[in-house]
Amino acid sequence: MKGKTRTPKSKIEQKEKAEKTIAKPALVEAKSEEIIVVTSTENTGAQPPYTFNKLKVRKPKQKAGGMPAVRSSIKHARKYMGLSNTSKTMFKLNQKGGIDCPGCAWPDPDDERSKLGEYCENGIKAIAEEAQKKSIGADFFALNSVVELQQLSDFELGKQGRLAQPMVLRPGTTHYKPIVWEEAFQLIGQELNSLASPDEAVFYTSGRTSNEAAFLYQLFVRLFGTNNLPDCSNMCHESSGKALGTTLGMGKGSVTLEDFDHADLVIILGQNPGTNHPRMLTALERCKERGGKILVINPLKEAGLLHFVNPQRMGKMLKGGTKLADLYLQVRINGDVHLLKAIMALLLHEEKLEMGGVFDMDFIMDKTSGYVNFVKDLLKHDFNDLQGGTGLKRAEIKKAAQLVKKANNIIACWAMGLTQHENAVDNIREVVNLLLLKGSIGRPGAGTCPVRGHSNVQGDRTMGIWEEPKSEFLDKLDEVFGFKAPRKPGFSTVEAIEAMYFGQAKVFLGLGGNFLSATPDTEVTAKALRKCRLTVQVSTKLNRSHLVHGQTALILPCLGRTDQDWQDSGEQLVSTENSMGVVQMSKGSLRPCSDELLSEPAIVAGLAKATLGKKTDLDWAQLISNYDNIRALIEKVIPGFENYNERVREPGGFYLPNPNRQQEFATKDKKAHFTITKLPKKELRPGEFLMMTIRTHDQFNTTIYGMDDRYRGIYNERRVVLMHPKDLEEAGFYPQQIVDIVSNYDQQERVARQFMVLPYDIPRQCLATYFPEANVVIPYNHVARESKTPISKSVVVILRKAE
């Protein structure tokens, strides 16, 4: 391993002292005296090692895409996939009838798709990671103990190779060993059936899981008897679903990809598409070419929002690309509600001054409720207070208001920058308020666009992966399958962590993902997992969740999106749902790296047979023999999937019903609702900062593709903190000084050790740093109101010189 490892001088506290504990805020039922103790420890294997490489810092890029993106794509494809697998996958990626990218959930064009390829740089990195040439099995694990593997970085873990056979780590042993599939299923079934209650098991899902696997998974879990189905939505767009559900009657976005061609204004809030959804830049490029404007609201300046050089358009490349943002507002972290209220206050003034014409009063009167009270509340706010919460100049806010005023058709896009705060649900409700004032819902070029992060995270929720399922869905399960589905709400992600910690949950099963690294409060989550009797991870590659485990641990290797899937009836296809509600097929093109891999649906069926036995008469083998049989069941349960097997095979798939597109709202009064929200108050004391976690350009969620953040000019290092130059100077630090990041919630100190502080263009008293390295300071029990999403984008911290 490259670089010098730095070990903190302070020793692990051997005893957790009572004075450092507090009464546990109850997310799940527990005895009053029970507490979760947070100890500031040195690395326990739950976190990546404290390792520094040779950092290189350059000026941040002002343009995204272009030849650097092409070169990076070719480099990753050749290095990890090889030329043969590259040619078999890249030209089928996101094509009709091809492979749905396992990366983000950005939609594909309905009509013609690029013959050069419907993929981006990070899409190529995603399939290069999944389809890498190396594989690991019994020999690898015999040579490497769990403790030894813990010393590898997350990047190094992912690059060890594809998992090639099921493995088990038994109590008291140090190395994973091979296990045959049937024995693994029986072990899990016996452990589940030995629980005092089905609610003592947690069944987590990643957004990579296909519709078919997700539907079978939730059916198995509910037949088993619990709604403990947390998923990655709990940590990202749960806040969007709550806000949109209460205001517009539907927890999904309303726009289609074509709407970007007709938008007068696209507002992008708390999102970095150049890294996280690069193909979105093509839609923004088209919007600009058709005369649309782009307003960006984001604390960091991001290359992909400033300028885009489309690598598939040679003329554009020769001319230097397309300028995107017409106005870029570097709002203070969590200053979005202040800013939106300020903009709407200016618009209200203009509406009164001009005697109408600024707001769409016909839409407001006919389609909405709550307008009068909303305006009364808006008038109570002092503009100076609103401006002060943004960190922006008055002239900047006025420019934004003018862009909104002149636009008839507005699309609002957002991501984690809005959804991971205590007031996250109100952030999105305020966005909806603005759209309602302009009548920008349900007409061409207008609407809501929550941009999902993982390729089927929205589809998994549609399939029933949810700890709080709607009664209509459960009633339909009862009707179709002849059993009484559980009605008691299950554990969300943060509730699952707490339940495992306190012994209320004793078995954890993860269908994809990297639970430990994706969740907040790394050390608490690690303790929770270690208290389980059994942890099971269904995975394609090695990750840190395999190395922090229960008394017994299983790794079950599965097929990836790029792999061919052959069952008794022949080659199978699976389906996914993108951010805009399009369900399309996906079919792998590569031979699997091992004959011992099973598909996710087959793994779920094996679990169900071993666990449920004769409790159900479902023929799991028959369902797996042909996935059309699974889709036939989905069709019976979930509205919008009529003629599923025929329609999913149509080129491009099909759209699910979306009433908002017809200005129909499934609220109690059948109207869209204005909402009165409170201003978030986060008073920072001297020396305190508001920290947000972000991705690098060489990263997708917890998967680390490389060590560079090219667009931000940071190379060969991840343990960095971005800080305003004046804040850095006033704090007495120098560039690249080693610091610890410290949070203190509920009188408990959490420490992320050994980070380099870098001067960067970011608002005052704001910090940015990468996850999962900084997750250790995010308190698991401080979450967004209503959605229970972790506050990963607004954590109060101090920086302390490292010992």
**pLDDT tens readout for residues 523-552:** 999 999 999 999 999 999 999 999 999 999
Which pLDDT score is estimated for 85?
Answer: 86
- Report the Cα 526 to chain-centroid distance in Å: 20
574-630 pLDDT, tens digit each? 999 999 999 999 999 999 999 999 999 999 999 999 999 999 999 999 999 999 999
| Helix/strand/coil for 584 | strand
Residue 43, pLDDT score:
57
| pLDDT computed for residue 34 by the predictor | 57
211: amino acid identity, one letter: N
Is the pLDDT at 427 greater than 90, yes or no? Answer: yes
Report which residue type is found at 349.
Answer: H
Q: What pLDDT is attached to residue 736?
A: 96
Q: Is 90 exceeded by the pLDDT of residue 48? A: no
Mean pLDDT, range 258-267, rounded to an integer:
97
Instruction: Give Cβ neighbours of residue 313 (< 8 Å, ≥ 6 apart).
Output: none
82 falls in which pLDDT band (50, 70, 90)? Answer: confident
- Report how far residue 473's alpha carbon sits from residue 490's, in angstroms, rounded to the nearest whole number: 15
This prediction has a pTM of: 0.94
Q: Which are the contacts of 112, defined by CB distance < 8 A and separation ≥ 6? A: none
| pLDDT at position 295 | 98
Q: Look at residue 366 and tell me whether its pLDDT is greater than 90.
A: yes
Alpha-carbon span 326 to 314, nearest angstrom: 24
Quick one: pLDDT band at residue 42, thresholds 50, 70, 90?
low
Looking at residue 761, what is its pLDDT?
Answer: 98
Local confidence band at 726 (pLDDT 50, 70, 90 cut-offs): very high
| Three-class secondary structure of residue 498 per DSSP | helix
**Residue 114 pLDDT grade (very low, low, confident, very high; cuts 50, 70, 90):** confident
pLDDT at 282: 95
Helix (H) or strand (E) holding 217: helix 211-224
User: To which residue do tokens 């008897």 refer?
Assistant: 225
pLDDT at residue 210, as a whole number: 96
The structure tokens 């979306």 sit at 658
For the four alpha carbons of 98, 99, 101 and 105, in that order, the dihedral sign comes to positive
Strand partners, 757: 721
pLDDT tens across 460-495, in order? Answer: 999 999 999 999 999 999 999 999 999 999 999 999
Q: Which of 7-21, 408-422, 443-457, 644-658 has the lowest mean pLDDT?
A: 7-21
Residues 6+ apart with CB under 8 A from 191: 507, 533, 534, 552
Q: Is the pLDDT of residue 522 over 50?
A: yes
Q: How confident is the model at residue 95, as a pLDDT? A: 86
pLDDT digits (tens, 9 = 90+) for 208-243: 899 999 999 999 999 999 999 999 999 999 999 999
Confidence at residue 37, expressed as pLDDT on a 0 to 100 scale: 63
Q: Are 296 and 268 in contact (CB under 8 A)?
A: yes
- pLDDT, residue 31, reads 37
pLDDT of amino acid 183: 98
How far apart CA 675 and CA 680 sit, in angstroms, is 15
Lowest mean pLDDT among 11-25, 97-111, 138-152, 161-175: 11-25
Q: Report residue 677: phi and psi, to 5°.
A: -115, 155
Please, which residues have CB within 8 angstroms of residue 384's CB and are 6 or more apart in sequence? Answer: none
Tokens of 14: 């051997």
Tell me, what DSSP letter sits at residue 718?
A: -
pLDDT for the residue numbered 18: 31
Q: What is the C-alpha separation between 296 and 438, in angstroms, rounded?
A: 18
pLDDT of residue 22: 29
Q: Which amino acid is at 689?
A: F
Mean of the per-residue pLDDT values of the chain = 92
- Residue 681 is predicted with a pLDDT of 87
Q: Are strands 293-297 and 265-269 parallel, antiparallel or unpaired?
A: parallel
Residue 39 has what pLDDT? Answer: 59
Q: Residue range 685-709: average pLDDT?
A: 95
Which of 87-101, 453-467, 693-707 is predicted least confidently? Answer: 87-101
Of the pLDDT bands very low, low, confident and very high (cuts 50, 70, 90), residue 86 is: confident
Residues 6+ apart with CB under 8 A from 184: 166, 168, 554, 556
* pLDDT value of position 396: 98
Instruction: Grade residue 38 by pLDDT with cuts at 50, 70 and 90.
Output: low
What pLDDT shows up at residue 24? 36
The whole-number average pLDDT for the span 143-148 is: 97
